[in-house]
Amino acid sequence: MENQLIIIGEELLLNKPYMEYVDEQLTLHVGFFDSRVILRRNDSDFFIKLEDLVSKSQQNIILVQKDSFTFVNKIISTMSEDRLELIDDMLIPSKSILYSKDSFVISKDEKIINVISLKENEELPNILIENSKSVKNFTVVDIDLDSLKLLIEPICSTYEIKIKATSIVEGLIKINATASKYGDLENFLKSISTLFSGKFIDNDDVVEHITEKLKQNNKKITSVESCTGGLISSMITKIPGSSNVFDGGIVSYANEIKESWLGVSKDTLEKLGAVSEQCVREMLDGILTASRADFALATSGIAGPSGGSENKPVGTVFVGVKSINQKAKVYRLHLKGDRHYIQTQSAYFAFKLLLELDKKLFF
C-alpha cells in the first residue's frame, strides 16, 4: 500500500465536524488513502497491531488524541529501537527526521511514519509528508463509468498506471491514478486529456474548477434551492476566492417564497407543484433576474424520508441550470439513499449540468 491512515482513539470519530475538517486537510496534502484503520489504545495487543500495520504501507499518518500522544510516541520509539527525547516541548523519538509542534516524522525500515497529535476545536498540526508525485486525482464528465474504464485501460497498460474510479453521480467520475515504479504519470495524463477532450478536468474538486474558470472569465454564479436547502451555496463558498464569482443565492423552501421572491406563477405551483420541471425553470428565471448573475443552478425535490407520492416518490428531484445567454437545462432525477445523500447527489448533478452547459468556458 502507498498511503495509510491510522486513527488511535475511536473517541475522535464522535466529533464529526472536526474530523471532516481533518479529513479535508489530509486529502489536500496526501490525497487518496489506500487504507484507513481505527485502533483502540487499550487493546491488549496494541503494540503488535500497530507494528504490523506500519509494516504494510510506504507512508503512514497516525492521528492520536493529545492525551495519548506521548504514549504512542513511546511505542513508535520502541518499534524503531530508539528513545524519547524532549524536543520543542515534545517527547518524541530522537531519530525523528522532521518535526513541528505536535507532529513528527520517523523512518522505519524505509517506511515513513508521521504521528500527529489532535485536539478538538484546535487547528490541525502540520502534516509533514506530502502526496507522492506518482499519484494524481482528476475528474472526467459526460461519460459512464463502464465506458470510461474500457477506453482508459489500454492507456493504463502503456504507461504502467493503476486507477481507481468512482461515479459521484451519473456522468461525473472521480479517478485516482497511481504510477508503478517505472510508470509515466505525466504522459498518461496528457493522453487522457486528449482522449477526453472537453470532458477532462485536472482537479478532483469540480466546484473548485468551476469557481476558478468563472473567476478567469469574470463571470458570476448564483443558486436557488429548495430540497438542497443551501447546500449548493455552501459548496461554492467553501472554495477560497469564491466571493469573486458568488454574490448570493436564495433558499426558496416554501411555495410562498418561490412565488413572492422568484416570480414562480401560482398556476404552476397549484397545477404542477413545486417539484416539477416548470417550477424549476421559473425559479431559474427568477434568480437570474434578481441576482443579475451569468449562471444559475436550481433544485426542487423530495429528499425524504417522507413527503413522497406514487407519482413523485422520495428521491424525485428536478435539477436545472441556465445562463443569461442559453436556454435552461432541467432534468428529473430518481435518486436513492437517505435525505443527506439525496441532497448531496442533487447538488453534484447541478454542477455537472453546469459543466455541460458551457463547455467552451469550463474546458
Question: Which domains, from first to last, does the chain contain?
Answer: 3-118 (3.40.980.10), 135-204 (3.30.70.240), 207-362 (3.90.950.20)
**What is the bridge-based pairing of β-strands 111-118 and 59-65?**
parallel
H or E element at residue 260 = helix 255-262
Quickly state the pLDDT bin for 83 (edges 50, 70, 90). very high
Candidates 93, 89, 90, 125; CA nearest to 106 is 93
Report the distance separating Cα 297 and Cα 244, nearest Å.
17
Quickly state the pLDDT bin for 132 (edges 50, 70, 90). low
pLDDT at 41: 86
Model confidence pLDDT, tens digit, residues 11-64: 888 999 999 999 999 988 888 888 999 999 888 899 999 999 999 998 999 999
Residues 6+ apart with CB under 8 A from 86: none
On the CB side of 270, how many CA atoms lie within 13 Å of its CA? 3
pLDDT at 2: 78
Report the distance separating Cα 17 and Cα 20, nearest Å.
5
Report the distance separating Cα 211 and Cα 237, nearest Å.
9
